[in-house]
Structure 1
Amino acid sequence: MAVSTGIEKLDEILDGGFQENRTVLVTGPPGAGKSTLAMNFLQAGLENDEHCTYISTEQTPDELRDTFEPFSFDLTDESLTVLSLHARPGSGTDQYDQGTIVETYGADRTDDDIDRHLLRTLEGGDEIDDHSIDFTPANLREFFRFNISGDRVVVDSISGLRSVSENEQTYRRFLLDLIQLINDHHDATALFTAESSRPNTNGMQTGQFSVDELTQYNLHGVIRLQRNRLRGTDRRLLEILKMRGVAYDDRTFELVFGDEGIRILPENRTFSSTLRVTNHISTGIDGLDTLLGGGILSGESAVVQHDGKAEVGGILYVILSNILKENRSIALLPRINSQPLFLQSVFERLGTPMDDLLDDDRLFVFDHHGVWDDHQNIFKSAEDESGIKSAMTTIHDRSRSQGVVLSLDTNTLRHMLGEETTRQVRSWLQSSVVTPTDAIIDIHNPALLQDELAAFHVDLASQLLETWMNDTGLQYVQLHKSPTGDTGAVRLIEYLDKPPYVRVVT
């Protein structure tokens, strides 16, 4: 069962919210929004008539009041208990108009060098319970056992509890016991915060955890907050690093503060579907269509960039084969090193025999090396601007389908025509040839093109996909530009031995 985070967009990112009776860690530098996000989480519980506990290990109640004063959080709710547990000398108690505050004050070290803290508990009336204990993990476990209650618990932050432990192993054991106590003994959903402190190259704080990886493994989820400088302004960012059993959105979002706490932006990364008129041509690859918001945009152009290592030809021919099955035609300018026998074999295995497609005026090929057999739909003389334009006019006249998808290898086109003529031909194709039922797919390796030519194609396109292979041999695809789909999302590409042969993992 999902528990609302109190932030509508974060609930959407997490497919409903946090998992009930589990613990999530929010890490980030000072001022990133950890405490505010935690209070949003508790406020949602209070509005749902749940009992909530807020444990601060670094701020007194007065400091907490100051922290949350700009927001509309109801700190006087009688269902909210605030525990202030901090190692500062002093004494005294405090209480809101309603509700309960428990303060823990640090006393000076004893002659035996044992930290002792005075726990003063005010339970909503005049009765005050004072007692002094050794500030040890064992005693704090008992303190938490008897003082934590409710459906939601926040510990802000667990970095402030490090002083109770003699070493990392003791600290880790204490945190694991605390997680088990909250989730299993009290059946509560918990949110922990932790500081990150290592500065990045901009002088801001990065999301380096102050909690070791072994402890993170025992947490149900990890959310990272960051502060980055963007053109002279301080931006706060949120990213989900881990959330067990949840199909979460792994993209980076920006967070801003408002009267009700935290807002997460953007609401959408593409233009509202109610304000646009778009038709898609399905790629036949479900995960890729989902990433693109339906497929390749009809009447527009899409750019596919690759790093020279990622498999591109196989994916392209699977897409083209699926498009052919939808009663469309294909005009193909293949890569320089593509051989007819290879393409013939691929199309045959995909269930779209190449010879039949040529005879049926469904497939048209630009033969820039003269290696293809003669056929009226193999264009051998299209090696200059006039040849390309003449061939495209012929293709549209002969095509018997619902539209033509033109697949162009931009590196090959530049090799044939040169950079300036390539720009002229592409502009002409987009403005004078492509109909509302057509589409253009430009494929290129940016490293082999001049920056101006690569940028020209990106600017001309309505959609931009990038695919690359990392050092471990895994291939990914990212949508950089599109009026539809999950712009910015990165997806893994998986190859299969049977149809659909390619899968984009969502």
Structure 2
Amino acid sequence: MYVGELLKNLDRIPSGVPGLDELIGGGFLPGRVYVVTGPPGSGKTTLGMQFLAEGAKNDEKGLFIALFETPDIIVRDMLRYNLGILEYVNSKKIVFYDLGEILLSANRELSWDELFKLLLEIIKRENAKRVVIDSFSLFESFVTNPEGKKKELGRFVRKLRTMDITTLLLSEMLSSEKYTDEYYLADGVIVLHHFMRNYQMVRAIQILKMRGVPHDSNLKRMRFTNEGITVYKEAPI
């Protein structure tokens, strides 16, 4: 059997973002870990919530682990979109875990090993099929051994794969020329961009990396609509 035929037979997890699945061969591969990165205000949290709402629509429980914003603020902000978030939260098809409050109130910093074990305990307890962690890059502020990240992150990613959980790691982009460990270890990297042109804000999305599926790596136009983020086939400019 040819590789192309094998790829066609692989299941896909719909992203919930109109236009995105067409760029990544029909959707995410189930049980994989993906990074969604970009500058502040680029739409990372919105994309994450669309991903969870799509799962909830299909009776797949979603878990949002928050490190910065509190769950009530995230839900309030997402009510501007027609995603049915409040209904899914009330029915517990989407649950939130305020990990930031726990880490900020802890009387000591954790090791990377302890941090990832804590994340796995939360994920197992909630029995979620889709997980979003926001913002993954903030973990650096809560650990005692920053040099031990790559090894423990590799173990964490491998464990998530064995649990058949599809995960989005939302990460702040500090530099377009600096790649952190999660870029290399994740199965895919989606970059959200925004920049000014002729005094107008232009938004774009780029599939920087996507293991195992054919994908379009060119910049594509992206807009915020009443349904959340929508991706278009044309270039942003």
Amino-acid identity (%): 29
- Asked whether the 8 Å contact 1:227–1:234 carries over to 2, the reply is yes
Counterpart position of 2:208: 241
d(CA) in 2 for partners of 1:81 and 1:231? 41
- Asked whether the 8 Å contact 2:66–2:100 carries over to 1, the reply is yes
**Which of 29, 34, 37 is residue 47 of structure 2 equivalent to?**
37
Shift of 1:179: 1.6
- For 1:14-413, list aligned pairs within 5 A: 14-73=24-83, 74-75=85-86, 76=89, 77-86=91-100, 104=102, 106-107=104-105, 109=107, 114-115=108-109, 135-148=110-123, 149-184=127-162, 186-198=163-175, 207-209=176-178, 211-212=179-180, 214-266=181-233, 269=234
SS at match of 1:106: helix
- Asked whether the 8 Å contact 1:196–1:208 carries over to 2, the reply is no
- Asked whether the 8 Å contact 1:55–1:156 carries over to 2, the reply is yes
Greater per-residue strand proportion: 1
SS at match of 1:194: strand
Which protein, 1 or 2, shows the higher relative CO under an 8 Å CA cutoff with sep ≥ 6?
Answer: 2
**Would the alpha carbon gap of residues 13 and 69 (structure 1) be closer, same or farther in structure 2, given more than 3 Å must change?**
same
SS at match of 1:64: helix
Shift of 1:173: 2.9
Shift of 1:8: 2.9
d(CA) in 1 for partners of 2:77 and 2:161? 27
SS at match of 1:19: coil
d(CA) in 1 for partners of 2:159 and 2:28? 18
Q: Number of residue pairs matched?
A: 219
TM-score (norm 2): 0.83
- Asked whether the 8 Å contact 1:236–1:254 carries over to 2, the reply is yes
| Deviation sequence 1:47-86 (CA, Å, 0-9, x none) | 1111111111111122212331311232424221211111
**Would the alpha carbon gap of residues 29 and 68 (structure 1) be closer, same or farther in structure 2, given more than 3 Å must change?**
same
The one-letter code sitting in structure 2 at the alignment partner of 1:218 is L
d(CA) in 1 for partners of 2:164 and 2:36? 20
Task: Quote the RMSD (CA, aligned, Å).
Answer: 2.2
- Asked whether the 8 Å contact 1:61–1:84 carries over to 2, the reply is yes
- Asked whether the 8 Å contact 2:65–2:97 carries over to 1, the reply is yes
Counterpart position of 2:14: 4
- Asked whether the 8 Å contact 1:54–1:80 carries over to 2, the reply is yes
Shift of 1:208: 4.6
The one-letter code sitting in structure 2 at the alignment partner of 1:196 is M
SS at match of 2:159: helix
d(CA) in 2 for partners of 1:37 and 1:18? 13
d(CA) in 2 for partners of 1:2 and 1:70? 28
List structure 1 runs of 4+ shifted beyond 6 angstroms: none
d(CA) in 2 for partners of 1:178 and 1:72? 33
Counterpart position of 1:444: none
Shift of 1:105: 5.6
**Would the alpha carbon gap of residues 139 and 259 (structure 1) be closer, same or farther in structure 2, given more than 3 Å must change?**
same
Counterpart position of 1:449: none
d(CA) in 2 for partners of 1:80 and 1:232? 38
The one-letter code sitting in structure 1 at the alignment partner of 2:209 is K
- Asked whether the 8 Å contact 1:183–1:190 carries over to 2, the reply is no
d(CA) in 2 for partners of 1:167 and 1:225? 29
- Asked whether the 8 Å contact 1:165–1:171 carries over to 2, the reply is no
d(CA) in 1 for partners of 2:152 and 2:172? 18
Shift of 1:140: 2.8
TM-score (norm 1): 0.41
Runs of 5+ unmatched residues, structure 1: 88-103, 116-134, 199-206, 270-486, 489-506
| Deviation sequence 1:321-364 (CA, Å, 0-9, x none) | xxxxxxxxxxxxxxxxxxxxxxxxxxxxxxxxxxxxxxxxxxxx
d(CA) in 1 for partners of 2:177 and 2:173? 5
| Deviation sequence 1:268-311 (CA, Å, 0-9, x none) | x5xxxxxxxxxxxxxxxxxxxxxxxxxxxxxxxxxxxxxxxxxx
**Would the alpha carbon gap of residues 141 and 249 (structure 1) be closer, same or farther in structure 2, given more than 3 Å must change?**
closer
| Deviation sequence 1:355-384 (CA, Å, 0-9, x none) | xxxxxxxxxxxxxxxxxxxxxxxxxxxxxx
| Deviation sequence 1:372-415 (CA, Å, 0-9, x none) | xxxxxxxxxxxxxxxxxxxxxxxxxxxxxxxxxxxxxxxxxxxx
